[in-house]
Amino acid sequence: MAKVTLSEGVYWVGAVDWNVRSFHGFTTPYGITYNAYLIVDEKITLIDTVKYPFYEEMLEKIKEIVSPQEINYLISNHVEMDHSSSLPLIFKETPNAQLIATKRGIAGLRKYYKESPLVKGVGGCLPFVPVKEGDELSIGKRTLKFIETPMLHWPDSMATYLVDEGILFSMDAFGQHLATSRRFDDEVGLEIIMPEAAKYYANIVMPFGSQVLKTIDKAKDLKINMLATSHGVIWRQNIGTIIESYVKWANGEAEEKVLVIYDTMWNSTEMMAKALVKGIINEGVEVKLFKLTGSDTSEIIKEVLTAKAILVGSPTLNNGMFPTVAGFLEYMRGLRPKGKIGAAFGSYGWGKGAVRGIEEMLQKTKIEVLDANLEFQFVPDKEELQKCVEFGSSVARQVKREA
């Protein structure tokens, strides 16, 4: 098998999971990669591992380069199991290795793998070495530097910087869920990578925008020749593009774009949604319409990332929202999109409730709620639909002023 070389002595030894279609609820139609890296110097170092079903694949790649017994350091940048769950397995092959992680990382690994040799130790010793911000480790001709990145996206998270080559092993940050046979950004193309990088940011990183900005600020004086993320392609040609995109996303910069997101029972709410779209188009503003039944929530959240306005509609069911609408709003609330305006609309039979429920959820999400007054009984008539068109236009005009 051809070795994947980042620079002389630095290898990708990860795995490609072509068939996974959900990453804890985030749809992954193009699969995932779990990136692990091996640095061969006087001390041999493995940075992160792969999800455990892919352990043998990783081991085979390592064995083509060195004997696992020669590994001196196992670095765990992040304890989430897609990166750490092969540690207890590889540790059986690396009896003399020390395991390096942040203090919180070590606590997490002890808890995850308390029954494994990793935690119980080999020969009675516990091989954990905690590191903190700015610590350095000489591995021979090269030096590694550790950069803590708490809540990007877990408390334990850190990045490892290979000083000499300027390679930042950035863990989940700058990743994409994209299985390819190519390992580098210039081999795949931005038109394929960027939508997946945006979807990844929106569904995983979006709540942690302030930590993203702090980390980018901390890294501003580092010379970065490669961003070796834990998922997807390694950035070596478009590093500026992905960093600028992260800054834009973390600051909540929006485009002139409105989303109309709804579900419907007997088409009344759908009629309103389409009337809103008509009003937005009349003002020349981009709009996307999503009926929640049958739509991919993680794709909608990707659009939320860069939309300025989010209009959410639901029929009233049992004095509340339609379940798909409630589920979507709860997911979006947790992701804390920044700087949005929003409004609710909907239909009802004999009792209201959905519009009030949507407005409450938008407020909890810190979205500025506009007073739409669009809640109509049974089937909206011509005048009521015209009100929807006019409200859509007024939102579009506001978006043009503010985006």
Active site residues: 24, 78, 80, 82, 153, 172, 200, 231
What is the maximum alpha-carbon separation in the chain? 80
Enumerate long-range contacts of 135-141, CB under 8 Å, 24 or more apart.
136/163, 137/73, 137/100, 138/43, 139/39, 139/41, 139/42, 139/43, 139/44, 139/45, 139/72, 139/73, 140/41, 140/42, 140/43, 141/41, 141/42
DSSP SS3 for 150: coil
Smallest CA-to-CA distance from 207 within 153, 270, 247 is with 153
Output 94 or 176, the one with its CB closest to ligand FEO. Answer: 176
According to the binding rule CB under 6 A, does residue 51 interact with ligand FEO? no
What is the rounded CA–CA span in Å between residue 108 and residue 81?
10
Output 155 or 339, the one with its CB closest to ligand FEO. Answer: 155
Closest approach, Cβ 289 to ligand FEO, in A, equals 32
Residues paired with residue 229 on neighbouring β-strands, in sequence order: 171
Closest approach, Cβ 33 to ligand FEO, in A, equals 10
CB 104 within 8 A of CB 130: no
Rg, the chain, Cα only = 24
The closest residue (CB) to ligand FEO is 80
Closest approach, Cβ 153 to ligand FEO, in A, equals 6
CB 171 within 8 A of CB 221: no
Q: Work out which of 41, 82, 196, 303 binds ligand FEO, going by CB under 6 A.
A: 82
What is the rounded CA–CA span in Å between residue 16 and residue 50?
9
According to the binding rule CB under 6 A, does residue 199 interact with ligand FEO? no
According to the binding rule CB under 6 A, does residue 177 interact with ligand FEO? no
CB 349 within 8 A of CB 375: no
Q: Work out which of 83, 142, 199, 257 binds ligand FEO, going by CB under 6 A.
A: 83
Output 173 or 312, the one with its CB closest to ligand FEO. Answer: 173
Binding part of the chain for ligand FEO, among 76-84, 219-227, 298-306, 364-372 by CB under 6 A, reads: 76-84
Cβ atoms < 10 Å from Cβ of 350: 7
Print burial letters for 173-198: b (CB count within 10 Å at least 16), e (below 16). Answer: bbbbbbbbeebbbeebeeebbbebbb
According to the binding rule CB under 6 A, does residue 172 interact with ligand FEO? yes
Closest approach, Cβ 313 to ligand FEO, in A, equals 33
Output 128 or 174, the one with its CB closest to ligand FEO. Answer: 174
According to the binding rule CB under 6 A, does residue 156 interact with ligand FEO? no
According to the binding rule CB under 6 A, does residue 35 interact with ligand FEO? no
According to the binding rule CB under 6 A, does residue 196 interact with ligand FEO? no
What is the rounded CA–CA span in Å between residue 296 and residue 104?
34
Closest approach, Cβ 213 to ligand FEO, in A, equals 19
Binding part of the chain for ligand FEO, among 77-85, 179-187, 315-323, 391-399 by CB under 6 A, reads: 77-85
What is the rounded CA–CA span in Å between residue 214 and residue 204?
17
According to the binding rule CB under 6 A, does residue 176 interact with ligand FEO? no
**DSSP assignment letter at 230:** S
According to the binding rule CB under 6 A, does residue 148 interact with ligand FEO? no
Output 50 or 259, the one with its CB closest to ligand FEO. Answer: 50
Closest approach, Cβ 174 to ligand FEO, in A, equals 12
Query: Which amino acid belongs to residue 277?
Result: V
Residues that bind ligand FEO (CB under 6 A): 78, 80, 82-83, 153, 172, 230-231
